[in-house]
Amino acid sequence: MKIAFLATDMVEQVELTEPWAAVEGEGWTPELVSPKAGSIQGVNHFDKADTFSVDHTIHDANAEDYDALVVPGGVANPDAMRTDPDAVEFVREFFRQGKPVAVICHGPWMLVEADVVRNRELTSWPSLATDIRNAGGRWRDAEVVVDQGLVTSRKPADLPAFCAKLVEEFHEGRHAGQRAAASARGGAAR
């Protein structure tokens, strides 16, 4: 399987590297997709960490080429990406195709922007709870929440549970509940 990791500068490094290692541990191929070419800057909270080479820009990537999607957090990473219409559409397309998606920390901002949380249960960094509720989702304070192919977690401390569940959901493959989330908004691009 080929797994897309959607991230840009200021991605929380451990939320990228631990799921990446879990994907590789299954023998799957992770690829870094980003709105920018070259490399992106990881952070440990707000301190600069490592840089990561981008495999494909969001403008060249196609959700049909991947089996699943991971969106790591960090405050600035999803906040920057949610203003990029191509990044938002990339996320939305995984839901249209019924493919599993795993999102952690502040990453659910991408789900809110893609309008795919309506009538779904998920978790996130606590400060996103109101955004999720305002978008029609049901926010729950738990280390990991799974809702028909959508895996969400709150923070780096939740990574062991997050990685275990994303592996499980990715093995299961497509989920009708993902398609329903995209259909609830009409399935059309903004």
177 vs 46, higher pLDDT: 46
Q: Is 106 a catalytic residue?
A: yes
Query: Could you give the angle at the alpha carbon of 18 between the alpha carbons of 15 and 23, nearest 5°?
Result: 115
Distance CA 103, CA 124 (A): 8
Which among 127, 190, 118, 112 has a CA at the least distance from the CA of 147? 118
Q: What is the pTM of this model?
A: 0.94
User: Tens digits of per-residue pLDDT, 1-58?
Assistant: 999 999 999 999 999 999 999 999 999 999 999 999 999 999 999 899 999 999 999 9
Antiparallel, parallel or unpaired: β 39-44 and 47-53: antiparallel
Distance CA 165, CA 145 (A): 9
Distance CA 124, CA 140 (A): 8
Quick check: helix, strand or coil at residue 65? helix
Which among 77, 93, 74 has a CA at the least distance from the CA of 36? 77
- DSSP code at position 168: H
Q: Is 163 a catalytic residue?
A: no
User: Tens digits of per-residue pLDDT, 94-149?
Assistant: 999 999 999 999 999 999 999 999 999 999 999 999 999 999 999 999 999 999 99
Reported confidence tier of residue 177, pLDDT bands at 50, 70, 90:
confident
Question: What's the pLDDT at 184?
Answer: 67
User: What's the token pair of residue 37?
Assistant: 């070419």
Provide the mean pLDDT of the chain.
94
Question: What's the pLDDT at 173?
Answer: 87
Question: What's the pLDDT at 180?
Answer: 72
Choose, from 45, 105, 163, 171, the residue flagged as catalytic: 105
Which among 121, 72, 115 has a CA at the least distance from the CA of 93? 115
Q: Is residue 176's pLDDT more than 80?
A: no
Reported confidence tier of residue 185, pLDDT bands at 50, 70, 90:
low
User: What's the token pair of residue 13?
Assistant: 């490094």
Choose, from 45, 56, 59, 106, the residue flagged as catalytic: 106
Antiparallel, parallel or unpaired: β 150-153 and 145-147: antiparallel
Distance CA 140, CA 18 (A): 23
Q: Is residue 74's pLDDT more than 80?
A: yes
Question: What's the pLDDT at 17?
Answer: 98
